[in-house]
Structures are given as structure tokens and as C-alpha cells.
Chains A and B, each alone.
Chain A
Amino acid sequence: MNIQKRRLTLYTVLAAALVLLGLFSALYVLRLDSTIREKFDGKRWSLPAVVYARALELYAGLALSPQMLEDEMQLAGYHRADTAVGLGAYVRRGEAFDIVTRDFQYPSGLEKSDRISVRFTGERVTALTRTGTGAPLDLARIDPARIGSFHPIEHEDRIILGREELPDLLVKTLLAVEDQHFFTHQGIAPRSIVRALAANLRAGSTVQGGSTLTQQLVKNFFLTSKRTLSRKANEAIMALLLELHYSKDEILTAYTNEIYLGQDGGRAVHGFGLASQFYFRRNLDDLSADQIALLVAMIKGPTHYDPRKNPEGCLQRRAMVLKIMRERQIIDEERYQQAMTAPLIKIGQMLSGFNRFPAFLDLVRRQLKEDYREEDLNSSGLKILTTLDPQVQWQVEKQLSRTLDGLEQQKGRADLEGAAVVSNRESGEIVALAGGRKAVSGEFNRALDARRPIGSLIKPAVYLTALGRGYTLASPLDDTAIVLKEAGTKTWRPQNYDKKEHGQVPLYLALANSYNLATINLGLTLGVEQVIATAKTLGLAGEHQPYPAFLLGTAEMSPLEVSHMYQTLASGGFFLPQRCIDGVMGADNTLLKRFGLSVEQRFPADTVFLLNTALQHAVGEGTGHSLSRYLPASLHIAGKTGTTDNLRDSWFAGFTGDRLAVVWVGRDDNTPAGVTGSSGALIAWGEIMRSLHPQPLVLDEPPGIVWSSIDRRTLASAGLFSSDSVSLPFLAGSRPESEPLLPGIDTEKIERTTKGVFDTIRGWLD
């Protein structure tokens, strides 16, 4: 009886334990099930925002060399071939190209792939036709290069493909090598596990894996790579659950998008779509048997079988995969033999997508952060179409670095740094940006963050104020010494760079030669507040105290901020918000935001025309004259040099017919760099622009402008016998009369709407 009772109790306890165990197991499985469904039904991957350069527009007449086109296509991931058949392939025969462009989703809609032929003569496109028919084309676009992406911390990147985008050759090879019974098992394959276990026991270590594709996916997706019994158990349960809920095709597609296939610097290459672009510059459906075999071979160990680091091992593994492909009749003997002799990857073939232009990308990221959260940038798969022109960017990086190397050849100049910003003159699109002499990711971005006194680059604001208040380009200014003192400050005796006084000089010449004394005298007459107001209207940011020193450029600005200010001048008085982004599109290719062109007239066109003419004189005969060593005078470039105390900062800002560029040269520790605006930044500016083959600057002449020849000595209208005259533009009614203004100048005539120049100055005197 007692025994029976004991047995009953034991059974009850056992049953209860089993029920409890079953209950806990069920709960555990339910939890795993929920984990799987949550991830699989939701957004499976965090997709980084991908950043693109501008698309290259091709048309007959475009200034572009054959090599530039090839460089651009290489950057955009195109591959050179013997016959242009696949998407993204091109054939080059000397100066003739046949190109198969790729589909690309622009903000204006999908642009389908096209087959185009481009012919060059020298450095110009002379014909653009449709390949085959020879029909002339007005215009064609090369889809833009992917220049970087914004990753979360793990730096995973992938191109998501659908099941229909997976080529048969890949699917068959993948299954033959990794999981022969994929379409028949339920997530795990017990026989494979037993076989692997036996093999591993025999070898005394792990030599064979028994995991199905589903298990591998579960491991990669949900679990760590730790080899523990509990992890294996979880993997098996989750594989079964995954198969229960999802179709084979869904699992296969997820696997091909998830699988890790190598490293591109700090970027982890995941999925066959991206791996195909990264290793071969081709779409997945354009890969040959040896290339498919290589990718499948790498699954076992992307680091160990990396074709760059271990070509021997990789080749052996690829041979093994090709053998399986032949055995399973995925490829025939002929293809097998061909594939076996194919090289692994060609030199220079790999396509790094890891942020090649870090300074520009930095700017893009900062602009995006105004509209998007960090996680949106890192995970939502945004497509960012930027204004970067790779051709210009390459030249900016190259010429800035070369110039600084050259400058450092002179004694006393070392550790020079520089920055440059180039934009389109009429649209304000930033096409290139260098944050230092070396384009290194994470480096201090001087173009954005190095705020330095701008020196004489501020002077156009002084002269623009004057021209807006009745002064003319021929108005005589007083370039004589002045002593200034403010309460509680030291006496300030500004000087010209050459330490001389030049007496009375015409306004245009004072700006062209960057005379400090004339500028201060003029600025004080106009009022420093007025000049600051003009500078702000031009685009100067921040608050500035109305000290006289402001007139000589004590305001600290970054090259980008200077560029912003000069853009208003370059576009004839229209304020243009400078843009580095053209549009943002969602992962589904819907247009989320456009950063379209907008303009705002801030200065009368005629006043800016006068000022820009003076800036042309600054290059033609003033402090920017040495630019003629790099660029012909016929380009009529407008520009201004800037130098700060003790030659700490060297600036040049100027524009041609098509571009505005600002260059800064100095040292990071703010010690004297030993270069003036014209002996430092101007050289880099000249070299950059020379390499870009700029268009001549032809200023739009507003109605009402009259030109008059002025005698340089008297500043009066030049007579027939004047031997030293200059032609200057004037607003209607402001042209100087024939009586000489100099010597014995009539100050009332000069001052026009202003008053009390000497009174104001007297106020600053001791």
C-alpha cells in the first residue's frame, strides 16, 4: 500500500514536472517564435543612406576628355569590356565609347538603361548617338556614382534584391554547395547533422558543418556565432519555426541578402547584390560562372578566402565549387574549363563604396541632420542625390595638395594646410570641397570648421556699401594715415601692406590694390554698422561688433561661409542658398525632399555690376594680377586676395563665367604661415581653375550703365589726348565730368549722399 502510494506520488510529481517542463518549453518556443516573426515581418535590415554624386550629362559640344569620361564611369562602377552587352559595361576604342547605361531612379522618375555611343575630338564630345542605329541624341545621362553611405555603428551595407533578381546559376550553385536538400527539409536536416558529427568526431575537430541554409540564416539573423549547445538548440528550434511561417523562396532571398561576404575598409559587405558590385562592378545577373563560384566559395569564410589576402586559398576553394557545379551539371565541361582558368579579380577592378570624398560627405551629413534624425540616415535606406562633380573634386584635391607641397619648398614654410570650396556660379550648387591637403575621413574639416579672420576678403562689402550710396568707381578716396582709438583700447595705426600712403586714389583702384587706409577711411565715412549690414545681406553669418577693425577683415569665417557670401556677388546680387544636395529619395524611390534652386535679389544689379567690374580690375591689375601666370587675362576673372596679420591666413575668392571658388591656406596652430593671399591661396586657386578649363566671365550688364574713359591721374573724363586712361562703367547720370577732380579734389562732390568723412574720422583720432 505504502509502495503503491509512493509510486502514485512519484508519478504525480513526475507528471507535474513534465507538465511544467512542457509549459516552460511551450512558452520558450512561443518567445522564439515571436522574436522570429517580429524581425522577419518587420524591417529586416537597417539600410544606410546611400550618397550619390551628380549624374554626368553627355551632349555634343561638352568639354570632356575621353579619359575623364572613363574615370567617371570607373567611379560609377561601370566595367570595361570587349563588347558592351551587360548593364554598366562599356567598350573604349581610342576616342570612341559604346556604353550601356543602367536604370536609375531620379527625382523626376525612372530613367531606363540606354545604349549610347560617344565620340570625342580632343577634349570635347563631338557626337552622341544611339548605339546600333546611329540616331543622334541631344542628351544622355550616366547614372551617378555612389560616393559613400551613412552607416550605423556596425557599418553593414547591402543592396537588397528580390527573389526574381537572383540568377538561376547562383541559386543552383548556392544550394549545391551549402544545402542540397533545401527544398525538401523542414529547416534542419538530421542526416546531415549526424554525418557532420561523425566526420568531426573522426577528425577530432570541427571539419564539417551540418547546418542548413535556414539554420545559417537564423544564426546570422538572430544569434551569436558562439559554438554552444544552447545556441545550437535555439538555432534548430528557430529554423523549424522559420520554415513553419515562411516560404522557401522568402528564406532563400533573405539568406542571399543577409550573408556576409567581405570587408571594404570600415564597411561590411553583405549580400550577393552588393558583393557583386564590390568585387566585379557588375549586376548579379551579369556574373560569369567563375565569379558566381567565387562568391559562393567565400561564404565559408569571407576573411579566410578573401581573394585579396589569400588568393591561393580562394582559388582552391573556388575550384572546389566549380567542380561541384560541373558534377551537378550546373555548368558543362567547356564552361568549367573556362572558369577554372579565369583570374580571381582584376587589379583595380574592385569598387570601394566607402566614403571617398569625406569632406564633402561631412557637409552633406550636416545638411541632412537639419531635416532627418540620425537613425533615419543610418537605417532607412535613403538615397541622397548630391551636387558633387567628381571631375572638379579630383582636381581640387590634387591641385590643393600639389600647391601646398610646392609652397613648402621655400624656407620657413612648413605644415601648411588648406581648404577649398567650389560652386557653380549661377546655381550655388557646391560641386567640390576639400577640407585639408589630404582627403582623409574623420580629419578636421577646415572648409567647414576652420574659422579664420578673412582679411581683405571683407573689402567688397565696404565698397558695395559705397557704390550703393552714390559713390562711383572713379570716386577719389583718401589713402592716408589714420590713428584710431576707442575708449579702453590701445591706439591703432592701420597701415597699407606696402607701408606707404597713396594719397587720393580712385575707388576701383583702392579695392583692386586692396589699400587698407582708403578702405578704413571710406568705411568710417559710411559707418561700420552699414558695412556690417551689407556683409550680412551678402550672407555673412553671426553677430559682429562695429569696430573699425571689422573693415579690414577681423570677422572670422570658414571657407564655406566666405563662399556663401561671395556667391551673392558672383550671381549678380542674387542671394542663393548654397546647396550640396539635390534631392532625397526613400528606399522605395519616392521623392521625399527636393532642394531646388531658389534666388533672392538682395542688391540692385547695377551696383553689383560696378563692384564686380572693380573685382575684375583686382585680378587684371591689382593684388590678384599674378593669376595671369595660371589663367589668361581674356577670362576676365573677378577676385579678391586676403591676408591677415603676420601672414597667418592666405585667402583668395573669385569667380569665372561658370564657377566660384574660395581657397584658404594657413596653419592649424594659427602661427604665421609665411604666405600672402597672392603668394599662397591665389596659386592654389589658379591651379585648380586652370585644371577645370573655366569659361570667361561676362558680367550681365544691366540697363542704364554707361561706360566712360577716365583719366587715371585726374579721375575726370579722359580727353582725346589722355595717355593714361581706363574705361569704367557708371550708373546713368553719375559719369564724371570733364573737369579734373585731382589734384585739388572737391570732397563735397565725392561724398554725395554721405557726409562728414573727416568728422567721423576725427572722432576716432587721439
Chain B
Amino acid sequence: MMRRFFSYAKRYKKQFIIAFLCVIGETVFELIIPVLMANIIDYGVMQNNSIYIIKQGIMMAICAVLALILGVLYSRYAAEAGQGFGKELRKEEYERVQKFSFSNSDHFSTSSLITRLTSDVTILQNTICNGFRPLVRAPFMFLMALFLTIKLNAKLALVFIIVAPVLGIGLYYIVKNVGPMFRKMQANIDEVNTVVQENLIAIRTIKAYVRGDYENSKFARINQQLRNHSEKAFRLSVMNMPLFQYMMYTTIVCLLFFGSQMIFAGEMKIGELTGFLSYVLQILNALMMISNVFLMIARSIASMERILEVMDEVPSIKDCPQPLMNINSGTIDFKHVYFKYNQEAKENVLSDINLHIDSGSTIGILGGTGSAKTSLVQLIDRLYDVSQGEVCIDLHNVKDYSLKVLRDNVAMVLQKNTLFSGTIKENLLWGNKDASEQEIKWACKQACADEFIERFPDGYNTYLEQGGTNLSGGQKQRLCIARALLKHPKILILDDSTSAVDTATETYIKNALNALQDTTKIIIAQRVSSLQHASQIIILDNGRIHAVGSHDDLLKNDSIYQDIYYSQLKGVDL
């Protein structure tokens, strides 16, 4: 798993290497300085040589300056390396998510995708930034000190050969077991956050039903779980400190004991014993540092897994090897189309859909809640792929076109209108980034958006908040229609896009759309009045085509259409 993450660090290899060398350099100085100090005592003081002492002192100062330079260099390159890694990973993940089809993204919730792209990447990045230094330093220190101890006194080094593995095994045990515990804890944290989030969104419902106490006890329950799991995880992970102390103290006591024996026997000098002690402590310290890094990694494994899940998700909708690059007409055919969102689902959402739609015609789709109107039109520009059968545009299967060409030629105004933060003009340019001022005005006029845009003090440069919250529903819908018109599409799909627009405006838009001779228009609506003049109306019922025909035909022959028509005739909608 780790190896896959290393590949994102590739572009910053140079920085990683420099940072690596800096740490090594720093560590070397750390080992040199005590030697210089020993020289001061052993030669300078012993030989009463004050010039020598001052010389060594200056050497130490130079070492200190060099260490400072290396340290500063390290912080620069390590920052670039760690952040660069994060940048590449984030970018790669974003590109991947952007390639997702909706059947892909349906596997993740929106909020979880966002977390995976933001905080999970940050966690990994921090692990690298904080873990790199000890991870380089510790093994180096470990090897150096090991070498020196064995050289100093191989017999005494035996003590440490017994203690180090015990410490190693203990630390390994902690790191290994704490990983799954942290994962459980993370799952609990997600749960807690979900409940808080839900409560925030639904606070009115909760208050209206007086369910405060109910929610409190629900929360207390999962909070208790979180507490239990996190206490367990932390209890184990903090044990590395006392374990380290036990081992360190054991070593000191043993070394003092055996060392003194050796001194008594004349096998060792006092100075050697002190030196030995300090090296052994360095070895244990290095092990401790490594275990700390591994604990950190154990905590970020959950994030790694969550990111890998995104990376491993294979985009289910891709271009075929030699895609067609031209769409000449807006003829649409559905041939025995079956569709379900989830392969495992028992029932199809759409069943045996057969349709032929002439280029340039206007088609209405009508049907009850959950009759799969939206699902049907989403198959045309491959937001989802059919489960069975085929959808054709201009007599070719939609799968044979390049996705870009297909979606450039099919404009869809969605039920849930999304506008982005930015000016009105910027939003409109989504339809065609090269559109001229005139074209923009034309599109807005067709969609009846010009009148309200021009009333704003800043006109087309009016800034929209995220989601266009500073516009009314009707205004948003009209802007979205204008945006779609700017694409000059072969096929235009309006999914319940005029529901908040008053009838007079709707009629105007309808007439403007009818003037687009070369564009096939598919209109989903709730109101019969919106569709009455369509050349064909498709009645969907429970994912099947119940009837197809003109308004007059259907009114005569189709029971559902009659139902809808009369239910609305009585109301305001006529």
C-alpha cells in the first residue's frame, strides 16, 4: 500500500534526496560535537593547552553554524517534498474523481468524497512532514551507535543485544495492535459527526417533534462507544513511553553492573563505560523515535485506505478506443433499453424502452413521482450507461462517440440547478467559453433572463453566491436555460426546468425554443400545459412507457394522461 503512495513523491525526488542528506549531515555533526568536547577535556585540559581548547571551541562553533545551515536547508526541502507529495496526490485524486461516472460517485457520499480530497490528504501530508526527519535520523543513529558500541566493547554490547529485541517486539506489538483500534475510533468519529450534522440540518424537525431527549440519548450512546474505542487505542499507544523507560533503565542498571565488574577486572576503562552508556541510550532512543513514526503512520492508515478506495474506483464510463467525433443530427433512438442504478438491484428502474425521436422535434415526458423520467434522459448524454439495450444518437450508439463530443452536443438543464460562485457572465460562459457579448444577450433573451439581469445594478457582472442563493428559483431556472442554449446543442433536454417560472414567461420561452429548428427538444414537466404543444408526449409509468402520442390522441385514449389533465384543469395550472 505504501509503495503506491511513494509514486506520488516521484516528482519531488530531488527535494527528498536533499532533505535526506541534510538530516544525515545534521546527525553527523551531532556525533562530532561530543568528540570535539572530549578532545577539550582529554587533550586540552590534561595538557594545559589553552590555545588547543580555544581552537576546538571554534571548531565546535563552526559545526554549530553548519548544523544551522543544514537545518534551515532541510526545512525548506522537506517542506517542498512533503507539500509537493500532497499536491500531486490531491491533483491525481481530483482528476480521478472528475472522471467518475455517477454510478461511481454513488458509491461514495458527496461529503465523504470531499473529506477524502481534503482532510485525508492533509493528514497524510502531515505524517510525511513530521515523520520524515525521525525516520531518516533514527535508523542512521541506530546503525552508527550500534557500530560504535560493538567496536568499543563487544562483550558488553551483549546486554543491549538482549534488551533491544525486547523493546523492538514490544513496540511492534503496540504499533500492530493500535492500527485497527484507531480505525474503529475513526469510524466512531464519523458516526458522531454524522449525528451532529443531521441534528444541525434537521433541528426544526427535532424541535417540532420534541425529540431533544431522544437525540441526546442516541448521541450519548455513540459518544460512549467513541470514548471506549479511543480510550482503548490511546491507552495502548501511550504505553510505548513506559515500555521505553523500563528497557532504558534495565540497560543502565545492567551496564553499570557488568561494566563495573569489567572495570574491577581491569578489562575496561571508566571513560569507556560512560561513552558506552551514551551510545546505548542513543540506540534505544532511535528505536523509540521509529516507533513514534509508526504510531503516526498507524493513525494515518485509515486515510490512506480511504484515498486508495477513490483511486481504485474504475471510472465506469470511458471513451471507446476509436470514438466518433461528429454528430450531425439530433435523432434519438432507444432500443430495448433496460436500466438500473445498482447491478444488484432486483427491479429495473427503466424496462424495455423503445423510442424514436426525430431530429428537431419537441418531445414531452410526463409521469408520476419516481416514474424514472430523469433516469431516462440521463442515458442520452451518458451520465449513466444503460444496463441492457442501446441508446443511439444520429443512428450511432452513444457509447461510440467521444464523451466530449457527445456532451457538447447534448445540453441538459437539470432539475437541481447548480450555479457556481462567480459573476452571471462567468456562469453563462460555462455553455461556451468563447461566446461573444451578443451571443450571451441572445441566449438570455430566449430564456427571458435578460429582463431581470439588466435590472441588477451590475448587470451581467452581478456576483452570484455559491449555488446562486441570491437569486429566486425562477431566476435560477432561466439562467440555467440560457447557459444551456449557449452551447447551440443538437439536443436540448429540460428536466422540469420551468416549474418556478410563471405561465406567461414559460410561453415565451417555449416559443423561443420552438424556433430552434435544428435542435431536438426533450421537455420533462409536471404541468400538462407545458407540454401540450409537443409533437409527441411520452407517458412514463413505473419505468415503462405507458403511452406515446400527441396531446389530442392521449387525451382521447390514455387514462393516465386524462387523470393528470383533469387533476390540473381544476387547479391553477391551466
Q: Do A and B come from one complex?
A: no
Chain A positions within 8 Å of B, measured between CB atoms, are: none
